């Protein structure tokens, strides 16, 4: 298994796959940055809950 500690992670797109990636990295102790071109992407609310209010682009 890869070690993601100390890495900078950006997830582009907050669809189902993007949310899955957020969960994956958060479970490993990594807080990713997330980006989406849409103002209110489908996974926005879930992502805010998962990131506990951490800054989102």
Res 52: pLDDT: 67
CB distance 36 to 18 below 8 Å: yes
What range does the domain containing 35 cover?
10-51
pLDDT digits (tens, 9 = 90+) for 3-57: 888 889 999 988 889 889 988 998 898 888 888 898 888 767 777 776 665 555 5
47, part of any domain: yes
pLDDT at residue 24, rounded to an integer:
92
The Cα–Cα gap between 14 and 5 comes to 22
Predicted pLDDT of residue 12: 93
For 39, which DSSP code?
S
Residue whose structure tokens are 């989406």:
36
For 23-43, letters b (16+ CB in 10 Å) and e give eebeeeebebebebeeeebeb
Domain count of the chain?
A: 1
What pLDDT is attached to residue 4? Answer: 83
Does a structural domain hold residue 30?
yes
What pTM was computed for the model?
0.73
């Amino acid at each position: 298994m890869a070690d993601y500690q100390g890495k900078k992670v950006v997830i582009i797109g907050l669809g189902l796959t993007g949310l899955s990636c957020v969960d994956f990295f958060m479970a490993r102790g990594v807080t990713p940055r997330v980006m989406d071109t849409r103002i209110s992407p489908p996974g926005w609310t879930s992502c805010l809950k998962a990131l506990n209010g951490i800054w989102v682009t």
